[in-house]
């Protein structure tokens, strides 16, 4: 529940927090992808900084992912739609 509380302040307006057994908590980003942050309350602020950095980098390169995962902020990744 701590992870859920930690993420609650970062959810974009009008979006609901999702839970996936494999990826943990996240949401459907209004920019067109799903983002997951895992189930740990540790490093929520770091995960958010990594996420925004990834979004900025991907946007600058014209890449629109289907999924971004920052469960492990030292090894974030994104996936394109299949």
Spacing of C-alpha 63 from chain mean position:
16
Domain that holds residue 18: 1-29+38-64
Q: Give a yes or no: residue 4 inside a domain.
A: yes
Residue from 61, 70, 82, 75 nearest 36 by CA:
70
Residue 4: the pLDDT is: 63
Residue 2: the pLDDT is: 57
Q: Give a yes or no: residue 77 inside a domain.
A: no
Q: Give a yes or no: residue 25 inside a domain.
A: yes
Q: Give a yes or no: residue 73 inside a domain.
A: no
Q: Give a yes or no: residue 42 inside a domain.
A: yes
Longest dimension (CA), the chain: 36
Q: Give a yes or no: residue 70 inside a domain.
A: no
Q: Give a yes or no: residue 56 inside a domain.
A: yes
User: Is 77:35 a contact under the CB 8 Å cutoff?
Assistant: no
What is the dihedral angle through the alpha carbons of 72, 56, 58, 43, rounded to the nearest 10 degrees? 0
Number of domains in the chain: 1
Average pLDDT per consecutive 10 residues, the chain (82 residues; last block may be shorter): 70 88 94 93 89 97 97 96 76
User: Is 68:35 a contact under the CB 8 Å cutoff?
Assistant: yes
């Amino acid at each position: 529940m701590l992870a859920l509380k930690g993420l609650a302040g970062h959810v974009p307006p009008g979006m609901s927090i999702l839970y996936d057994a494999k990826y943990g908590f996240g949401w459907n980003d209004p920019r067109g992808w799903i983002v997951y942050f895992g189930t740990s309350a540790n490093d929520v602020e770091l995960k958010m900084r990594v996420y925004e950095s990834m979004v900025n980098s991907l946007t600058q390169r014209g890449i629109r992912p289907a999924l971004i995962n920052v469960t492990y902020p030292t090894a974030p990744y994104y996936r394109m739609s299949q």
